Each structure stands twice: as structure tokens, then as C-alpha cells.
Amino acid sequence: MLYITKWQNENEAKINTRWVENLRDSLLPYAEGAYVNWLEQCYFVNLPRLIEVKTKYDPENVFKFPLGIPTADSIT
């Protein structure tokens, strides 16, 4: 599970962090783990072609999101 949060005031950090920790602890009994190699599992043999298309048409990675197809340059 991925948690993404942000806040405007640094004074809120402790409260917001604790809120996420409480949420995580509440959901833990229902979580079964993480997906290893999730890109390969989702896109199978199409992944190299999708990365090629993404790199060609969006080289600056403007249309990105945390679980999106990466560009060739962004793969480590």
C-alpha cells in the first residue's frame, strides 16, 4: 500500500504522520504484502514496447503518476 500525504504547515507534520501510522495499523490485518516486479506482472511482454512508446512521445515524462509506465531514462 502506498501512502502519499502533504501539508502546508510544518507544525502539522507530527499529527499527520501519526494519522497515517494509525491508518496503516488499522489496515495491516487486511494487507497481504507488496507486489514485486509489478510492471512486468501487469504488462508482461508488452512492457518494453510501452516504455519505448512512452519515451518517444513523452520524453520529459510530463504525463506521469506513481504507478505509470516509466521512460527509458528513468529506469534504474
Q: pLDDT (tens digit, 9 = 90+) per residue, 37-68?
A: 888 888 899 999 999 999 999 999 999 888 88
Q: Where are the beta strands (DSSP E) in 16-64?
A: none
CB 70 within 8 A of CB 43: no
Q: Are residues 43 and 25 in the same domain?
A: no
Same domain, yes or no, for 30 and 44?
no
Is residue 24 domain-shared with residue 6, that is, in the same domain?
Answer: yes
User: Which domain covers residue 1, as residue numbers?
Assistant: 1-34
Question: Number of folded domains in the chain?
Answer: 2
Q: What pTM was computed for the model?
A: 0.53
Same domain for 76 and 43 = yes
Average pLDDT over residues 32-41: 82
Pair 28, 51 in one domain? no
Asked whether 29 and 23 are in contact (CB, 8 A), the reply is: no
Residues 30 and 53 in one domain: no
